[in-house]
């Protein structure tokens, strides 16, 4: 079967094949397309969503020239690898993505307590082949969550434990001489996978940290002058404990900027803590039984298809202008020494499209931008020295910008 034929499976056959698998783990919770982030991050809807919906009579860009008037206000996806879908086909695909998201949440909730927001962010980053940095105290289930996502999506998973003496070859691989073949052969490192968990990345020395830059940004690794492509999709989850300073090497700004999202993982609430204790007392927190109970509902091919689908979610010109205003505001704020780069703009555009798809919408609204802005922007900000002395936090500055910037 040719590559084009394989890509066509992403339409009707994906829906049919997944129905049975999802039924095994989904409790039909009724939250398809309506699930939002945690209550603490919710922001009241600013404007009516109807003005951001695609118009019914808008001609299909695949069969008609772009109109001179930009009244529809939507930008076509950049370099789509699948043909531009009709409105009905896109709605059907987006509904399936939303259903898969709900099924993943349902299955993970049987073992992982809380972490609803971080699960959403991981799914958004995964569907964009982005990377996520999780900062927080140890013992909050970061490794378990990463392994669970890999199992339920049916893709490969590797883990790197940060240490001060780890070398680039330990992560990327090395060419060694094979005495039987009488030639040098490549031993690939753990980075050649789909989901890579880098635990305690700030314990890795700067030389080895820099080895990630090419892999994370360019999706390739160069060994002995030979460039090797990464697997697709390629997704990095890195963790670090901001409360430990001895034997650590803080990430430089160019490395932090490579992460699509950053999330602060704190302790769970007292209610969730009691729930965990109850599950532990009854033996419900054993990893092996849970891992055996997971039925993969995706595959690398299907995941690559949905990565292309979310790129076709519509985003209007007012929302694009809103993103631009937010980004520019971070560069002009008196408490910010260094504002966000263009990577933040791209992360907001792509992340908002995926967030809309997870909530069963084929178009982006301004609230989608607000829901992901903390994760996409905060870790890219550098406060001025005066602001730090006064105890101002990056989150406070960003909240101030969000409250002042309006959708025009």
Q: Please give the Cα distance from 363 to 68 (Å, whole number).
A: 21
Q: Please give the Cα distance from 275 to 114 (Å, whole number).
A: 10
User: What pLDDT score was predicted for residue 51?
Assistant: 62
User: What pLDDT score was predicted for residue 54?
Assistant: 56
Taking a C-beta distance cutoff of 8 angstroms, is the pair 364, 313 a contact?
yes
Taking a C-beta distance cutoff of 8 angstroms, is the pair 129, 235 a contact?
yes
Q: How far from the centroid of its chain's Cα atoms is residue 40's Cα?
A: 20
CA distances from 357 to 17, 353, 364 (A): 20, 6, 9
- DSSP 8-state class, residue 52: G
Q: Who's near 35: CB < 8 A, 6+ residues apart? A: 101, 102, 105, 358, 359
Nearest CA-CA partner of 219 in 157, 296, 148, 128: 128
CA distances from 126 to 104, 109, 160, 243, 330 (A): 13, 19, 19, 27, 26
DSSP string, 180-246: TTTEEEEEE-TTSSSEEEEETGGGS-HHHHHHHHHHHHHSEEEETTEEEEPPSS-EEEEEE-TT--T
Q: Please give the Cα distance from 16 to 21 (Å, whole number).
A: 10
**114 dihedral zone (left: phi>0; alpha: psi -120 to 50; beta):** left
29-48 burial, b for 16+ CB within 10 Å, e for fewer? eeebbebbbeeeeebeeeee
User: What pLDDT score was predicted for residue 36?
Assistant: 42
Taking a C-beta distance cutoff of 8 angstroms, is the pair 131, 238 a contact?
yes
Taking a C-beta distance cutoff of 8 angstroms, is the pair 203, 224 a contact?
no
User: What pLDDT score was predicted for residue 62?
Assistant: 46
SS3 of residue 345 by DSSP: helix
Q: Please give the Cα distance from 153 to 212 (Å, whole number).
A: 24
Taking a C-beta distance cutoff of 8 angstroms, is the pair 158, 197 a contact?
yes
User: What pLDDT score was predicted for residue 241?
Assistant: 79
User: What pLDDT score was predicted for residue 138?
Assistant: 77
pLDDT-flagged residues of the chain (< 70): 1-81, 243-245
Going through 342-381 in order, the beta strands assigned E by DSSP cover none
Taking a C-beta distance cutoff of 8 angstroms, is the pair 355, 125 a contact?
no
Q: Which residues pair with residue 221 across a beta bridge?
A: 228
Q: Please give the Cα distance from 53 to 314 (Å, whole number).
A: 8
Helix, strand, coil tally for the chain in percent (to 5): 45, 15, 40
Length of the chain: 408
Nearest CA-CA partner of 138 in 233, 324, 318, 267: 267
Q: How many CA atoms lie within 13 A of 30 on its CB side?
A: 0
User: What pLDDT score was predicted for residue 48?
Assistant: 52
Q: Which helix (H) or strand (E) holds 206?
A: helix 206-218
pLDDT, tens digit, 9 for 90 and up, residues 233-284:
899 999 887 766 677 888 888 888 999 999 988 788 899 899 999 999 988 8
Q: Who's near 51: CB < 8 A, 6+ residues apart? A: 316, 318
Q: Interhelix angle for 116-126 vs 342-358, to 10°?
A: 110
- DSSP 8-state class, residue 295: -
User: For strand 157-161 and strand 382-383, is the pairing parallel, antiparallel, or unpaired?
Assistant: unpaired
Give the Cα-Cα-Cα angle 360, 133, 348 (nearest 5 degrees). Answer: 45
- Domains in the chain and their CATH numbers? 86-312 (3.40.50.300), 313-408 (1.10.8.80)
Taking a C-beta distance cutoff of 8 angstroms, is the pair 315, 349 a contact?
yes
């Amino acid at each position: 079967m040719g590559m084009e034929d394989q890509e066509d499976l992403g339409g009707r056959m994906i829906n049919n094949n997944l129905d049975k698998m999802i039924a095994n783990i989904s409790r039909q919770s009724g939250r398809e397309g309506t699930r939002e982030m945690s209550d603490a991050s919710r922001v009241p809807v600013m404007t009516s969503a109807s003005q951001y919906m695609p118009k019914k009579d808008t001609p299909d860009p695949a069969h008609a020239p772009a109109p001179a008037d930009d009244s529809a206000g939507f930008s076509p996806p950049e370099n789509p690898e699948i043909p531009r879908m009709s409105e009905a086909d896109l709605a059907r695909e987006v509904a399936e993505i939303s259903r898969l998201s709900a099924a993943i949440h349902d299955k993970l909730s049987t073992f992982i307590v809380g972490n609803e927001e971080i699960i959403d962010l991981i799914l958004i980053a995964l569907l964009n082949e982005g990377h996520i940095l999780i900062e927080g105290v140890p013992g909050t289930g970061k490794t378990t969550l990463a392994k669970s996502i890999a199992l339920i999506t049916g893709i490969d998973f590797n883990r790197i434990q940060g240490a001060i003496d780890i070398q680039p070859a330990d992560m990327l691989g090395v060419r060694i001489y094979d005495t039987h073949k009488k030639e040098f052969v490549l031993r690939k490192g753990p980075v050649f996978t789909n989901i890579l968990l880098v635990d305690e990345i700030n314990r890795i020395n700067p030389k080895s940290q820099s080895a990630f830059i090419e892999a994370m940004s360019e999706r390739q690794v160069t060994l002995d002058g030979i460039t090797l492509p990464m697997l697709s999709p390629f997704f990095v989850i890195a963790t670090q404990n901001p409360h430990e300073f001895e034997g650590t090497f803080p990430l430089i700004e160019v490395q932090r900027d490579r992460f699509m999202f950053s999330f602060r993982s704190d302790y769970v609430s007292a209610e969730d803590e009691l729930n965990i204790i109850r599950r532990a007392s009854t033996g419900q927190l054993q990893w092996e039984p849970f891992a055996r109970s997971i039925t993969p509902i995706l595959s690398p091919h299907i995941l690559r298809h949905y990565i292309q689908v979310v790129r076709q979610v519509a985003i209007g010109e007012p929302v694009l202008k809103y993103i631009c205003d937010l980004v520019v505001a971070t560069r002009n704020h008196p408490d910010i020494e260094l504002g966000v780069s263009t990577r933040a703009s791209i992360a907001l555009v792509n992340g908002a499209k995926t967030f809309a798809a997870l909530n069963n919408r084929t178009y982006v609204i301004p609230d989608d931008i607000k829901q992901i802005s903390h994760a996409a922007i905060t870790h890219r900000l550098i406060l001025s020295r005066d602001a730090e002395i006064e105890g101002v936090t990056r989150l406070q500055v960003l909240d101030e910008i969000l409250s002042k910037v309006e959708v025009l």
